[in-house]
């Protein structure tokens, strides 16, 4: 028996579970911005997102902190003269600032973390009602074989067809 296809898994998984996973991935960075998220906070926030109920004060704090985190990651990529969209298509051999294997691994990790924080942060921001990141979600949704793109498309569908 073949293992499940991740694309199919992301397409069929309950959206609230996917969003909860993404929010939990941001717990430490959000805490660094003064926003603490308990499991109960995550569950309530996600339930309000998927049912399109009015968001509360905690959502505003999360949204503000996420915007700051995304901007910080965009600044990392800008240090290499890259936008997020350009970075996804840029090979590590085209990124300056490394000579040794250790430096390569450090820069590669920094690039990947910035890309991940931007993509997942943008997904959460749109889910939380920030339409400034809608174009980024459309970009992600258009990337074939991109797992974040699957979630981006699902969030776009949720917010645009609510």
Of 112, 104, 159, the closest CA to residue 137 belongs to 159
Terminus-to-terminus CA distance in the chain, angstroms? 38
Phi/psi at 3 (nearest 5 deg)? -65, 155
pLDDT per residue as tens digits for the range 25-42 = 999 999 999 999 999 999
pLDDT tens digits for range 81-90? 999 999 999 9
Residue 98: per-residue pLDDT? 86
Q: Which two tokens stand for residue 149?
A: 């793109």
CA dihedral of 33, 35, 36, 42, whole degrees rounded to 10: -120
More reliable by pLDDT, 45 or 3 = 45
Whose tokens are 């990124």? That residue is 95
Higher pLDDT, 93 or 27: 27
pLDDT tens digits for 95-147? 888 889 999 999 999 999 999 999 999 999 999 999 999 999 999 999 988 88
- Whose CA is closest to 42, among 64, 65, 18? 18
Pair 150, 122: CB distance under 8 Å: no
Block residue for tokens 């968001």:
55
Quick one: pLDDT band at residue 92, thresholds 50, 70, 90?
confident
């Amino acid at each position: 028996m073949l293992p499940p296809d991740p694309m199919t898994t992301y397409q069929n998984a309950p959206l609230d579970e996917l969003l909860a996973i993404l929010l939990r991935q941001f717990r430490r960075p959000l805490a660094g911005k003064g926003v603490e998220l308990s499991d109960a906070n995550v569950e309530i926030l996600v339930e309000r997102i998927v049912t399109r109920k009015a968001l509360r004060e905690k959502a505003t704090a999360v949204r503000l902190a996420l915007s700051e985190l995304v901007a910080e990651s965009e600044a990392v990529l800008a240090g290499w003269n890259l936008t997020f969209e350009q970075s996804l298509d840029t090979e590590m051999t085209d990124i300056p600032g490394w000579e040794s294997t250790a430096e390569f691994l450090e820069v590669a990790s920094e690039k990947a973390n910035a890309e991940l924080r931007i993509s997942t942060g943008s997904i959460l921001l749109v889910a939380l009602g920030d339409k400034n990141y809608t174009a980024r979600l459309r970009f992600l949704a258009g990337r074939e074989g991109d797992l974040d793109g699957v979630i981006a498309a699902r969030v776009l569908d949720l917010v645009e067809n609510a």
